[in-house]
Structure 1
Amino acid sequence: MSKDVRQWVFEHSSSRGTARLVLLSVADHVPDERCVVWASISDLMKRTNASRTAVRDALASLDKSGELVERRHLQGPKRSSVYRLPRAASWLAKVAAVRHEDPDAYVEPPTDSDPVPDLDTEAEKGLQRYGIWPREGTASGPSRGNPAGPESTPSRRNPTRRRAGIRTHHGTDSNPQNPSEPLLNRRYSSSGSAVLSAVEWKVDPATHAWTREQGHLQRLGEEGVRAADAKWRLHRADWTPRSAGAWSADWRAWIVREHPPARLGLHAVPGGGQQPARGMTRTEKHQAALLAALAEPTGTEG
């Protein structure tokens, strides 16, 4: 499901810059067609390699555009925020309705008039399997960690230390919320966080699609992208291991700054006896003349 939502971001979202990276990071964890997902600020900072202020500004921008709306009455593990991508949910519902009758039918692009599926109380109850619950308050009743009621005095025998936050049904925060999504670019440290070196990190399908979407693949060419990737890995080989999201953001920033490979087209090669072709720049002509001069005999070779 997250693959379809990421495709919606690439093809139909109007977000740009850090806001687009934040939206992609959230979309990468969408578990089903309701497009409701939890995410913490610290996790988004790691995945986008952006500052806390930049992430908060991006969330505000996405909320203003209506592409990412916070569901304040819900909370995820460790009281993390819960968001919904309403326009993505509208698009998925539109595609499902059209292709229910004809799997090969063409689906018109999304519009602002497309209805957003309702998210009623019953639908929200189904989100508990992904670790999303109603936000607790003073009148919310007993805590989920102690269904019997207020916490009693702990026993003096073998006292245990309570864990902060709420554990999900499917694992720790580092696991994907969508059980069908494979664990890619993941290696776990003793603390449970997913880290890997720059050499181990692989260009994932979303990052590869980004190079096409942003025009960098056309600008640099396949060879240019591979050369830039090799140079990036060489410069990042000694860096401290990071999360896959952090490497992805750093790699994209590198590609943005990369220049296309030089194509001098020197026709006046030594011994060729040819003149520089028309249309060459002044720098190319000077380089061609220098190479030709170096090939001329000086009488001192013997």
Structure 2
Amino acid sequence: MSVDSREWVWEHSASRGTARLVLLSIADRVPDKQCVAWASLTSLIERTNGSRSAVRAALLALADSGELELLDDYQGPQRVTVYRLPRAAAFQAKVDAARQEDPDAHVEPSDADPVPKLVPEKLQRYGIWPKKGTDSAPSSRNPTGAESDPARRNPTPRRYGNNTLEGAESDPQNRSEPKVNRRYSSSAGAGVIPAAEWQVDPATHAWARQQGHLDRLGEQGLQAADEKWRLHRANFKPRGAGAWAADWRSWIAREHPPGRPNLYAVSGKSAAAPGGMTRAEAHTAALLAALDEPTGTEG
């Protein structure tokens, strides 16, 4: 469904510049026709290559335009912020209704199109849950995750950092979103763990199910692949949770079902990206793995 959401942004959104990149980044994560996705502020900064202030301003502008909505009564993995593209959801519902009558019907969006009601039970399969003590109604709090406009706050002294509700800029809340330049940041030695201590987080497990690896390998096969990965990574240097998650995904995507040969590793085969991963994702996973590999020139 992310394809339909991205298509709506490309074809019908009035957003421009950084706001358009932010909206595309969120749309890229949409799993179904409800057009709901979770994303941390840090991940949006990384994906758009924009500054924190520019991304915050973009989120506020998108909310003001009605193209983006903060679902404050819901939270994603690691309590990350949840968003909805209401006009994209309304347009998709309109298209579906029209094509029940005529499969070739041409539909144009309208600001008056009703937005379908959320179905919380369907969101839970993607790791999105209502917050405790809420009635699951959307909030008017601004979409940057802050209680008030960040421009009106008193500036924080530099020595104390600039943490947001989504977490510090050097510590992404979503473990499936590795911070590629963590090795070169000032906190490079913080938060690293050995492979044996890393646990498959809800977002990574949801990825395995959505990409079909759980059906392909089965629960036992997936567990066996996980144990094999931990055995092969036992002597690797400690890394951040995000780097381990990317490396684990790359391993699972290459793993063959029990009793079948691993054609990905057969000599002479083309080096295509592993099933379930795009070439860019495979390259990113390989880069993250290479960053911590010993080169023989250390010390």
TM-score between both structures, scaled by the size of structure 2 = 0.49
Q: Which has the higher helix share?
A: 2
Which of structures 1 and 2 has the bigger CA Rg? 1
Q: Which has the higher contact order (CA 8 A, sep 6+)?
A: 1
TM-score between both structures, scaled by the size of structure 1 = 0.48
